[in-house]
A and B are shown apart, each in its own frame.
Chain A
Amino acid sequence: EDQVTQSPEALRLQEGESSSLNCSYTVSGLRGLFWYRQDPGKGPEFLFTLYSAGEEKEKERLKATLTKKESFLHITAPKPEDSATYLCAVHDLTDSWGKLQFGAGTQVVVTP
């Protein structure tokens, strides 16, 4: 059975203090790994898709990387507006409907 585990559950950072979030996954075959950002009271907002080990994607202060068993979301010099819950999800190649399996998320709080 597919599993997606995110760690830590919560992270408190000072503004400018870089850190990384982890998403480890178990799938039969990875079709794609997605990162989303969710602000309180809102739906998740798409950030990145990664398809194969070694791939990296960047957007402003965020950088996502992928290995065969996990993905990291690096937040460089975060600002308070980076505070959100970050979700990862995987699409298993063997699922004919392409359903996504989501992790429980990492709640990030960045203080000034």
Chain B
Amino acid sequence: DVKVTQSSRYLVKRTGEKVFLECVQDMDHENMFWYRQDPGLGLRLIYFSYDVKMKEKGDIPEGYSVSREKKERFSLILESASTNQTSMYLCASDPSGQLLRSYNSPLHFGNGTRLTVT
């Protein structure tokens, strides 16, 4: 079974702090994703990465950055946390790589990090 592990289940940070959310997958998957989940809004894509050191903006990248130095690890960075970034953050992976048109695989999710910014 694919395992996607997020390092923290709960985090409480203060406004203005730099926040790192870490995600590791153990199945050598090419693609990794960061979503945030808010009530009534569903999952919204922040950033994704299709290879080491490669990244693409999702639908709501403002206020976030990412890092992928190793294939198995994808980090989400909040440069200066704000209260409107209080949310559930979900990491996901899938094996399809850059040939997305020819491969239609489901995402494998971690259990999420609930971040509260005060």
Residues on A facing B (Cβ under 8 Å): 4, 9, 31-32, 34, 36, 41-46, 49, 51, 87, 89, 91, 93, 96-100, 102-105
Contacts and interface: CB of A to CB of B under 8 A. Distances in A.
A44 B33 CA distance: 13
B101 A96 contact: yes
26 contacts: A9-B40, A31-B101, A34-B106, A34-B107, A36-B106, A41-B9, A41-B111, A42-B111, A43-B4, A43-B90, A43-B110, A43-B111, A43-B112, A44-B107, A87-B42, A87-B43, A89-B43, A91-B104, A96-B100, A97-B48, A97-B100, A99-B45, A99-B58, A102-B42, A104-B41, A104-B42
A29 to B, nearest CB: 11
B109 A44 contact: yes
A97 B32 CA distance: 12
5 smallest beta-carbon distances between A and B, as pairs: A43-B109, A98-B100, A46-B106, A102-B43, A104-B42
A105 B37 CA distance: 11
Contacts of A49: 104, 106
Contact of A98 (B42, B43, B44, B101): B101
Contacts of B107: 34, 44, 46, 100
Contacts of A91: 104
Contact of B42 (A31, A51, A105): A105
B29 interface: no
B16 to A, nearest CB: 28
Nearest to B99: A98
Interface string B35-51: 10000111111001010
Contact of B48 (A42, A99, A104): A99
Nearest to A42: B111
A102 B96 CA distance: 19
Given A41-B112, A99-B48, A104 B106 contact: no
A32 B104 CA distance: 7
Nearest to B112: A43
